[in-house]
Structure 1
């Protein structure tokens, strides 16, 4: 399949909602980190906000406060909106319709599989994932590409040259919201590509475009998942979920969920940082 433009890709994703049974929206939340919609299941997407800081200057979500009971399929049409927040709501609505657990989806540790497959290789990462340091340890060469670079991240402008060198690339699902995915795929056409995160719709359309594997978040216990999002949990700390993989070929993944390992690393890092802060305060 030819790679569509960003807006055209969002239109194609929205059309996927027309292929599954429609159900009413049961609840919607636009959280500080994530946006969630509950219909067939709980669907999630990164909360993409206007760059303007003040809330009253940002584009509103149309019919906010009256979305419960409306059509999830209709709500997914917000994917084609020009509004940042509405695009997030539309993606979450789509995921609430299609990211329903299926037995044929693969479970296991996709990052451990990548370590086995690409140790010593040149790896790129679109978006600064919390497991960036883990990948850096086993990759031969590694760089993160970010719209807002931190530490040694590459800028968006410097990214294409690096992507052309890569053997593997890990891509955030946020690229579906900000229309950057088509350009990324063109620049790393020879690399193995993983799209990962709660925004990712587990649908073959993205595989047909050239992504090799999709790793998304699937709800297993709604109340635990919902509480995690509404209380501002980051993805490794989501409860009531499992990580599922849809790939263009069968993958023998090591057992386990990389988020468990990541959560332990985060706890250890935060514990060290907390001790250092306490020691500095006591000086």
Structure 2
């Protein structure tokens, strides 16, 4: 259930507060997480570099010099430059020169508009977070716990859910809503990704704030981290709702998510980095590496 959906098309995104409201700041969660990692690593961070980078069709993966690894959704549809080589070069100007790049230099990609750069930076945050968890199994004690698996519905009182909203065409989640007979709505910018029987549950960008505010459960694709729309979505959600961010993109230190209403991160931890990257370089998706070289995990707020 950790698959992710790309629902940002070019310049469009679920950013329904940026023009009218300054009570949130897009991308602040990533910045806070970066700062927290810098504080935790200290001077050790200065010696960390990229050992391997793979930009696959579905996921982008990194392997750091200390052996830690992380992945992030590849935002192919958000790269209009990919139609021709000269303009594509501007989207990834250091191609062929990333190996050996300092992790601290990768952090600058978090604030740059090129989607592929942001994917590399987010994958790096995931890798750094995983190293902390491996070095300290008790990390987060009293604040959160990490459980292996991806059954997000096992930790929710299903009887209490009167309406759920899924942001992004997360097919496994939608399937579970149908099977468990949970009333749901789907927010997805590319309506072509929905099946005909799902169209009656579609919610427009204009109606999404009202739907989020009245939902008991909100499940959000991790790709919202890539286009800086997560904060605006969380701002609109009810504080009483179960809010879950899912997908390998969202597998990092969770404190900044939890302080903004998120209750669960359902992501993916890499256990065999080279195997995962070999799959990605051959165009593989999550279905090709889950269970073999990676583990699905849930980071649950206490």
For this structure pair, what is the TM-score category when the shorter chain's length is used for normalisation?
0.7 to 0.9
Question: After superposition, what is the alpha-carbon deviation per residue over 1:72-94, rounded to whole angstroms, capped at 9, x for unaligned?
Answer: 23213211112111111111121
Find the partner of 2:188 among 146, 151, 172.
146
Deviates more, 1:66-75 or 1:14-23: 14-23
Moved over 3 A (4+): 7-10, 100-104
Which digits, 9 at most, give the CA deviation of each residue in 1:193-249, with x for residues without a partner?
Answer: 111111013212211222111111101112321222222222233240011222221
Q: Which residue of 2 aligns with 1:70?
A: 101
Match of 2:246 in 1: 196
Q: Runs of 5+ in structure 1 lacking a partner? A: 250-283
Please name the residue that 2:16 is paired with.
none
Distance 2:287 2:217 in 1: 22
Distance of 1:196 and 1:71 partners within structure 2: 28
TM-score by length of 1: 0.79
Contact between 1:73 and 1:94, CA under 8 Å: does it hold in 2? no
Preserved contact between residue 267 and residue 297 of structure 2 (Cα < 8 Å) = yes
Q: Per the alignment, do residues 78 and 188 of structure 1 end up closer, same or farther by CA in structure 2, a change over 3 Å counting? A: same
What root-mean-square deviation, in Å, do the aligned CA atoms of Structure 1 and Structure 2 show? 2.2
Match of 2:169 among 119, 122, 128: 128
Say whether 1:84 aligns with 2:109.
Answer: no
| Structure 1 Cα separation of the partners of residues 280 and 286 of structure 2 | 9
Distance 2:242 2:212 in 1: 11
Match of 2:270 in 1: 219
The answer to whether the Cα contact below 8 Å between 1:17 and 1:73 also exists between their aligned partners in 2 is no
> Which residue pairs with 1:98 in the alignment?
129
Distance 1:108 1:90 in 2: 25
- Asked whether the 8 Å contact 2:162–2:183 carries over to 1, the reply is yes
Change over 3 Å in CA distance of 1:11–1:111 after alignment to 2: closer
The alpha carbon displacement at 1:3 in A equals 6.9
Stretch of structure 1 that moved more, 147-156 or 202-211: 147-156
Q: What's the secondary structure of 1:125's corresponding residue?
A: strand
Q: Could you give the per-residue CA deviations for residues 14-57 of structure 1, whole angstroms, max 9, x where no partner exists?
A: 32341324212110111111111111422111112323441432
Choose the corresponding residue for 1:47, options 53, 63, 74. Answer: 74
- The two structures have a TM-score, normalised by structure 2, of 0.74
